Chain A
């Protein structure tokens, strides 16, 4: 499943569609403790996190994640969005909670 396919679903909105959305989502990861995520998340992950500050972009970039998904309508900080555009990391917002996001990903075969 490509990031663009996820963004086409009604429940999901890409907040920075100007970045490349052709990346393939290879797996999913949910977590908010950044060091824990650094230790365990894989490249190509769709990462679900309630953290909304600029450091999530650093983590996603270093681990070569496919995208970041911000659940439950949490508002991302402007500096994070700006960095995400610079670093070419898709940020996707949804009103679904983390569990529901993971269900959508699982249903799509991830």
Chain B
């Protein structure tokens, strides 16, 4: 069984950001995926969406449902991440004051994605963009 969902997310789109994760969650519920995995994908997806809205010049979030695993991809065009190791540290954030006042920019987004996925890969090129691929096992 293969199933794919894809949603575009624009920079600064805080009003609708979160909707893609919500739709992904609903789909996974309909497919009968276990609750723990749904929670992990929801958290990782939401963090990805927020990163697109906060940091990128626009991008997409996609979910592939494969036999035994889910693959979540967050890809954008934008400034990229010059130092990925630093960006992966909990508490490190480059978010501006305006979004911090909204409760974003805790420096937990990338760590939350890594901690909730079974495999996590991030590639980024400064001035070009960033691609994150996460895998979640669904075999119980």
Contacts and interface: CB of A to CB of B under 8 A. Distances in A.
Whether chains A and B associate is: yes
A25 to B, nearest CB: 18
Most B CB within 10 A of own CB, among A35, A53, A54, A61: A35
Contacts, number: 70
B44 to A, nearest CB: 9
Interface string B1-27: 000000000000011011101100100
B85 interface: no
Interface string A27-44: 000001111101100010
Interface residues of B, number: 24
Contacts of A39: 43, 108, 111-112, 115
Contacts of B112: 35, 38-39
B133 interface: no
Interface of B: 14-15, 17-19, 21-22, 25, 39, 42-43, 46-47, 50, 102-104, 106-109, 111-112, 115
Interface of A: 32-36, 38-39, 43, 49, 51, 53-59, 61-63, 79, 87
